Amino acid sequence: MKSKLIVDWNPTLWASAVFVSTFCFHTFAFPPYDIAELAYLLPVPILLWLFYKPPSSRIFLAAAGGAFWLSWLVLIFWLRHVTWLGWFGLASVLSLFPAGWALLVFWWVPRFKNRGFSVRLLGILSVCSGWVILECVRTFFLTGFPWLPLAASQWKRPVMLQVSSLTGFYGVSFVLLLVGVTIAFYIRHLLQGRKRGWQRFCPEFLLGIAVWLFVTFGIFQFNFVPGQRVPLFDVALVQPYIPQTVKWDASQSPRIMSQIENLVIFQKHIGADIAVLPEAAMPYPLIGDDSMRDWVEKLARDFGGPLLMGALAAEGPTLLDDPWFNGFMLVYPDDGLVPDYYQKRQRVPFGEFIPFRQALFFLEKFVPIGGDIAPGKSAAPLRLRMPGGEVLIGPLICYEDIFPSLAADSAREGAQVLFVITNDAWYGEEGAPYQHAAHSVLRAVETRRPIVRVGNGGWSGWIDENGNIRDVLISNEGSIYFRGSEVVEVSYNPQILREQTFFVRYGNWFVWVCAAVVALFLLVLRRAPPGREEEAEWERVGRMKINIPKR
| Active-site hit among 279, 352, 400, 446 | 279
Q: Is residue 548 part of a domain?
A: no
Same domain membership, residue 352 and residue 279: yes
| pLDDT computed for residue 28 by the predictor | 98
Residues 330 and 374 in one domain: yes
What DSSP state is assigned to residue 372? Answer: P
pLDDT average, residue stretch 240-257: 84
Q: Compute the distance between CA of residue 312 and CA of residue 281 in angstroms, rounded to an integer.
A: 9
Residue type, 501: T
Number of domains the chain is built from: 2
Q: Are residues 441 and 516 in the same domain?
A: no
The reply to whether 354 and 414 lie within a common domain is: yes
Least confident of 119-128, 156-165, 359-368, 395-404: 359-368
At residue 481, what are phi and psi to the nearest 5 degrees?
A: -95, 95
Q: Which domain holds residue 199?
A: 6-224+506-543
Examine residue 499 and state whether it is found in any structural domain, yes or no: no
Residues 238 and 204 in one domain: no
**Band of the pLDDT at 451, cuts 50, 70, 90?**
very high
User: In terms of domains, do 184 and 95 share one?
Assistant: yes
Residue (of 173, 177, 89) closest to 139 by Cα position: 173
What are the residues facing 287 on neighbouring strands?
Answer: 313
Domain match, 215 and 234 both? no
Alpha helices by DSSP H, listed for 377-421, are: 404-412
pTM: 0.91
Taking CA atoms, 14 is separated from 118, 123, 191, 395, in Å, by 29, 23, 17, 49
- Please indicate whether residue 398 is annotated as part of the active site: yes
- Is the pLDDT at 171 greater than 80, yes or no? yes
Residue 115 lies in a domain: yes
Q: For residues 461 and 83, what is the distance between their CA atoms, to the nearest angstrom?
A: 28
| Residue 549 belongs to some domain of the structure | no
Residues 185 and 301 in one domain: no
Question: What is the separation, in whole angstroms, between the first and last Cα of the chain?
Answer: 11
Residue tagged active-site, from 352, 398, 446, 486: 398
Tally the residues of the chain: 551
3-class secondary structure, 536? helix
pLDDT bracket for residue 531 (50, 70, 90): low
Per residue in 484-529, pLDDT (tens digit) is 999 999 998 888 888 899 999 999 999 999 999 999 999 999 887 7
Measured CA to CA, the distance from residue 381 to residue 34 in angstroms comes to: 33
Q: Is the peptide bond before 323 cis (omega within 30 degrees of 0)?
A: yes
Distances (CA, A) of 128 to 55, 426, 516: 22, 35, 13
The tens digit of pLDDT for each residue in 259-289 reads: 999 999 888 878 899 999 999 888 889 998 8
For the segment 112-133, the average pLDDT, to the nearest whole number, is: 94
Closest CA to 232 of 20, 386, 68, 404: 386
**Do 248 and 302 have their domain in common?**
yes
In a domain, 381, yes or no: yes
Contacts of 385 (CB under 8 A, 6+ apart): 306, 332
The identity of residue 4, as a single letter, is K
Spatial distance between the Cα atoms of 438 and 78, rounded to a whole number of angstroms: 16
- Cβ atoms of residues 524 and 122 within 8 Å: yes
Q: Are residues 301 and 365 in the same domain?
A: yes
Which member of 344, 352, 400, 446 is catalytic?
344
Query: Which stretch, 85-94, 237-246, 274-283, 436-445, has highest mean pLDDT?
Result: 436-445
Please give the Cα distance from 344 to 314 (Å, whole number).
13
Of 500, 447, 493, nearest to 226 (Cα)? 493
Kindly state whether residues 143 and 239 are assigned to the same domain.
no
Q: Are residues 361 and 265 in the same domain?
A: yes
Residue 500 in any domain: the answer is: no
CATH number of residue 460's parent domain: 3.60.110.10
What is residue 519's predicted lDDT score, i.e. its pLDDT? Answer: 97
Nearest residue to 285 (alpha-carbon basis) of 326, 313, 249: 313
Report how far residue 104's alpha carbon sits from residue 221's, in angstroms, rounded to the nearest whole number.
35
Q: Is 498 within the bounds of a domain?
A: no
